[in-house]
Amino acid sequence: MKKIRIAIDGPASSGKSTVAKQLAQKLQYVYLDTGAMYRCMTLSLLEHHVDLTDETLVSEWIKKQKIEFITHDNQQSVLLNGENVTLAIREARVSKHVSLISSYKHVREELVRQQRAYIQQGGIIMDGRDIGTVVMPEAELKIFMVASAYERAKRRYQEHVQRGDYTQSVEEIQRQIEKRDYIDSTRLESPLTKANDAIEIDTTELNINQVVEKIMSYL
Ligand code: CDP
């Protein structure tokens, strides 16, 4: 089968990355988690106490950070300046600030430039907020995944529990993802929107396998 480019966008915790990873494995495609890149930059800024509200300083800082993705035993890890930050970028403090950082024009320009370097002729799956609209508008298949805020919060809560993290309730997580969705959808620079030619999938009532099968049927 001809290898194509697949763009998956949608709000926080809609299941994009889990589905994208499984699809990439099934199809033997490269998977790029663009949200992880914004998270890496946010973590780096927090660790170095850079003033997050200073857009100029933040934009200068992120240009000096190096992000790499490595795959080992079918598991993808992300390295920030050589350090494995796969778990650290999922911490609540990162989730809390990532939407501010990703609203900055020059931050987006730099990361989109890096993301585009991964696009080959085909055989790539990227997930994020602006993949079908800005990063890879030429993608042959575009999916826009949605789910109710409560369902998304429950899924994120389960992920926390699996890591032994009981610090946030489902309600708190729901408030946080709704706030993030609001910032992501209303920002000036490439806001979260469904591309005109994207197929919308509501995953509220579907499990991961069902979503993967649905997308496979569009291929
Ligand atoms: O996994 P989750 O749904 O929590 O989000 P993520 O994909 O890890 O993305 C984290 C944040 O990065 C989002 O809330 C956006 O603010 C930002 N982001 C973005 O602006 N553009 C992308 N292409 C990907 C993520």
Tens of pLDDT along the chain (219 residues)? 789 999 999 999 999 999 999 999 999 999 999 999 999 999 999 999 999 999 999 999 999 999 999 998 888 999 999 999 999 999 989 999 999 999 999 999 999 999 999 997 789 999 999 999 999 999 999 999 999 999 999 999 999 999 898 999 999 999 999 999 999 999 999 999 999 999 999 999 999 999 999 999 999
- Kindly tell me the burial class for residue 2, based on how many C-beta atoms sit within 10 Å of its own C-beta (0-12, 13-18, 19 or more): exposed
Dihedral Cα 157, 42, 79, 145, nearest 10 deg: 50
Q: Give the distance, in angstroms, between the CA of residue 154 and the centroid of all CA atoms in the same chain.
A: 18
Nearest CA to ligand 1 atom 20: 102
- Token couple for 158: 């389960």
> What span, in angstroms and rounded, lies between the C-alpha atoms of 10 and 201?
10
Q: How far apart are CA 102 and CA 1, in angstroms?
A: 36
Residue whose CA lies nearest to ligand 1 atom number 16: 99
**Closest ligand 1 atom to 180 CA:** 14
User: Which numbered atom of ligand 1 lies nearest the CA of 156?
Assistant: 4
Strand-pairing partners, residue 207, are: none
Instruction: Report the alpha-carbon distance of residue 139 to residue 137 in Å, rounded.
Output: 5
Whether pTM > 0.75 for this model: the answer is yes
Distance (Å) from CA 1 to ligand 1 centroid: 31
Integer Cα distance of 66 and 213 in angstroms: 35
Q: What is the Å distance from ligand 1's center to 145 Cα?
A: 13
Q: Which two tokens stand for residue 130?
A: 């602006």
With the most atoms of ligand 1 within 8 angstroms of its CB, the residue from 16, 38, 100 to mutate is 38
